[in-house]
Structure 1
Amino acid sequence: MDICKPQGLRVIGFIGSVVAITYFSFFYHIFQSSDQIRTAILEEFVDLKSSNVTHIILWWNRPAWLATYERKCGNCITATNRGIFHKSSAVVFSLADRGMGTKPPIKDNKRNQNQIWIAFSLETNVQNSRIRDYRNQHWKNVFNWTWNYRPSADIFMPSGRVSKRLKPLSKDYSMIFQRKNKFAAWAVSHCNAHSLRDKFVTQMNMYLQNGSIDIFGKCGRFKISKSELSSLLNYDYKFYLAFENAFCDDYVTEKIFANYNNDVINVVRGRANYTEIFSKDSFINTKDFRNTSDLVRFMIEVSENETLYSNVLIQKDKFQAWGRLGEQYKNSLCDICRKLNDPFLEKKTIIDAEDELGQCIKPNDV
């Protein structure tokens, strides 16, 4: 009995090995076959981009300002003719513009299930308050992708981008500091905004004794062109107020991007996480101060100290802002095209397009 046990164990071990090898061979061929299928699909994806297949991206209610922008990327073209609705690979509905209608143009059970519906908006729910269409119950659970200013969007379209310079700029920062003879400038044409920025600037001016904030645009007493303003900021002003018109999640407009490359320190005010976009020490954020008085006191200190002022500019000049709206739109259009060409295209259902634009609040420091 003692001799037979090892032999029996060897037999059992042999049979187990055969079974294991058989299963391994079986699953190996399955996995190998799966990899071959995936490779074939990816090869088809590559061929598709150079084939005669054309994806139509239909603007259901295109914003007027997009009329002159790029209309093609790769094998994708944009259109506005609603007559080709059923032939379109994607349909874009602009939440901030009229023409959406109180309900979708077609019932869900008659819809082409391969067609992608996109909710587009570069404005917040605050700015869109006059447009009520997309808030209608009929527009819930119909969109597949979002296209907006939030990084979480399926198609992310910021007002600008910042990238690190390959070679830092070489400037005479002492000369820049010495030539600045004005405190701060603010260009604004949307008065009495939801963010209460008008009241905040009024408070700031109350604490300024040896200087003031010069206001340009419809809400101020100085009228000037964009090019003239850029020149003034570059040579005369120490600070520029890049204050948003609404306190909404991730909402950053062109204000700071447009003046980032100038020799001026930007003071930001909004609800975005600015340090995720810009280098930490390259700007001043109003939320980092207990009150307006502390903010102004710090700005005065920086404005009178060459080392402090220059250090902010030096940090800022390690980066550069780029991207006009037309360029950002072209990038977004190409992102859509890449997604439409992807054989593993992700199609989901957006429960509520209003929620996807994020939360907006009233500031509590004014």
Structure 2
Amino acid sequence: MSCQTPIAKLKLSLFERRKEYKKVHRMTKHFRPRHNSWKTRHIVALSLVGFVWYTLVSKWSPTEDKSSLIRKLQGLKPVFSQKSSKSTMMTSTTTATKTTLRAIQKPSVLEKQKSDKSPKLVPPKQKSRNKDEDADPFNRKKLNMNNDPKLAELIPVEAPGRRTRPKLGGFLTPPPMTKKPPIILVWKAMEHQMKHYKEDLEFYFGEECGGCQLTTNRALAKECAALVHFNSPDLRKLMDVPDNSTRNPDQFYVFWSRETPAKTYSFRNVLQDKRFDPIFNLTINFRRDADIVDYFGNREYELRFYREKERDTDNKWFERLLKKKNGLAVWAVSNCNSTYGATERMKYAKSLMKAGLKLTAFGQCFGKRPTGGEMLQQLMRHKFYMSLENSIHCPDYVSEKFWRNGLRAGAVPVVWGPSREDIAEIAPKHSYIHSEDFETPEKLVKYLNYLDKNQTAYLEYHAWRFKPIDDSIPEEDIIPTYRSSLCRLCKKINERPIVRKTIASVYDWLYETRYPDDLCFR
């Protein structure tokens, strides 16, 4: 019988456990997991080694074409000759490498071979480092039109029985280079266009437009025929304008704006700067009184979208249209409250739903973001599209919500925002329903429900699609893209005789003309 007390037994037990733990710890200390700092150090080290290796290989390993060229010019033996020893191979490789690098850096090495009787060898093409060559408008290396994916999107391939946009013909085809083309310098454009300027703003127009070269190369500021400046919020940070004191008097300075005053009103005072306000000769805008109208859409384009050869007879087209319609109204919106108009239209939409409108809504404001194909299907299966603009009573502002999401998707737009007078001048007759024609949201909902049940009355809003097409209007004058707007600018600067004017104030034109009230500025 043990004479140890319970406390002594407990101490002994703890001592033995600690002893065993030390044994285990000594056995496993070499296998404990490494600290995160070890990983970081080794990742950095491996990255540096990889970078150094890539630099050495890219700088000191000549391509097969360059090395073979120099070896032929200098009469050197092949680098990897079977008869040469390892040391000879290394010496030849080093010599060929140094010679190649000298030849690449000094083109005179290649020029000395012209007097040689050996067959002439064409040196590999080098990247241009000459500023004059980069500024040369005949340098087409980076202005290749044939491989431009943006142009392929603008010229869709028609499939049998499929409705597509009208083909652009050849107005973006490069003209024959018989003379130096007029240059349109885009000094500033929309943010996404400037980000992808090589694809969006570097190309030649075809003869239909006047054969102009479009570029963003500011080195051509003094010799360009037209200089385009886009109105953007960047003006608040930097007055990025060309020097008007050194301007060529024969140039056109063009003011380009696509947003409503509701979005640009916050920095309107910047436009009054004397370096900016009085220097322009032409305007590009969605307004009908602009020198070049930058369309979101137009009647003639929508008529050509539904060509007669693709419609068959009226009754068959109407039957196919009605089979797709199983919803009443749809609305896609992502701008919830960035402007006064956006806030007010959300209130109006909620009042329509409260009055009983069966509305399918999606977008960021409703937490639903369908893909492009899903969105098109949603638009086409509804009878009405809620074309609610984010601005109120801004002259001629009828955006793609009306044209693309409404008419082009086979729906009847319900308009809110533009004035009745403006929409009547722009849109096809009896193709839309204006909210201001109804005293209350309840009366508008009642009328939409009536059209939903009365097919004859509803189809009257689609009768405009079968109006005759005016083929005398060139396609480049109606296509609703910025490229076609710049095409029309190219036509303008090629007009003879040249009619020059100076806009006294683009601020006054943009903010103080054709406004029925002050709702556009809120």
TM-score (norm 1): 0.75
* Corresponding letter in the other structure for 2:434: N
Q: 1: distance between equivalents of 2:183 and 2:239?
A: 24
Whether 1:262 and 2:415 are equivalent positions in the alignment is no
Residue 251 of structure 1: aligned partner: 397
Q: 1: distance between equivalents of 2:352 and 2:287?
A: 30
1:346 pairs, out of 474, 478, 499, with: 499
Residue 348 of structure 2: aligned partner: 200
Contact persistence 1:281–1:316 (CA under 8 A): no
SS in 1 for 2:383: strand
Residue 62 of structure 1: aligned partner: 189
Whether 1:362 and 2:362 are equivalent positions in the alignment is no
Deviation at 1:318, TM superposition (A): 4.3
Deviation at 1:122, TM superposition (A): 0.8
Structure 1 residues 155-175: Cα deviation after superposition (integer angstroms, max 9, x where no partner): 111112222456365335356
**Larger Cα Rg: Structure 1 or Structure 2?**
2
Mapping of residues 124-143 of structure 1, within 5 Å: 124-132=260-268, 133-143=270-280
Mapping of residues 117-156 of structure 1, within 5 Å: 117-132=253-268, 133-156=270-293
Structure 1 residues 305-359: Cα deviation after superposition (integer angstroms, max 9, x where no partner): 1221122233345489x99x98622222222112222232222111222333354
Contact persistence 2:332–2:361 (CA under 8 A): yes
More strand by share: 1
* Corresponding letter in the other structure for 2:183: I
More helix by share: 2
Root-mean-square deviation (CA), in Å?
3.0
1:221 pairs, out of 343, 347, 367, with: 367
Residues 333 and 306 (structure 1 numbering): CA distance in 2 closer, same or farther, change over 3 Å? same
TM-score (norm 2): 0.54
Q: 2: distance between equivalents of 1:265 and 1:286?
A: 13
Percentage identity across paired residues of the two chains: 28
Structure 1, unpaired ranges of 5+: 1-47
Structure 2, unpaired ranges of 5+: 1-174, 470-474
Moved more, 160-169 or 274-283: 160-169
Residues 335 and 274 (structure 1 numbering): CA distance in 2 closer, same or farther, change over 3 Å? same
Q: 1: distance between equivalents of 2:479 and 2:457?
A: 36
Q: Which has the higher contact order (CA 8 A, sep 6+)?
A: 1
Residues 352 and 65 (structure 1 numbering): CA distance in 2 closer, same or farther, change over 3 Å? same
Contact persistence 1:147–1:157 (CA under 8 A): yes
Mapping of residues 76-115 of structure 1, within 5 Å: 76-96=212-232, 98=234, 101-102=238-239, 104-108=241-245, 110-115=246-251
Q: 1: distance between equivalents of 2:481 and 2:456?
A: 36
Residue 35 of structure 1: aligned partner: none
Residues 176 and 54 (structure 1 numbering): CA distance in 2 closer, same or farther, change over 3 Å? closer
Residue 286 of structure 1: aligned partner: 435
* Corresponding letter in the other structure for 1:63: M
Number of residues of Structure 1 aligned to a counterpart in Structure 2? 310
Contact persistence 1:188–1:216 (CA under 8 A): yes
Residues 290 and 50 (structure 1 numbering): CA distance in 2 closer, same or farther, change over 3 Å? farther
Residues 72 and 50 (structure 1 numbering): CA distance in 2 closer, same or farther, change over 3 Å? closer
* Corresponding letter in the other structure for 1:64: E
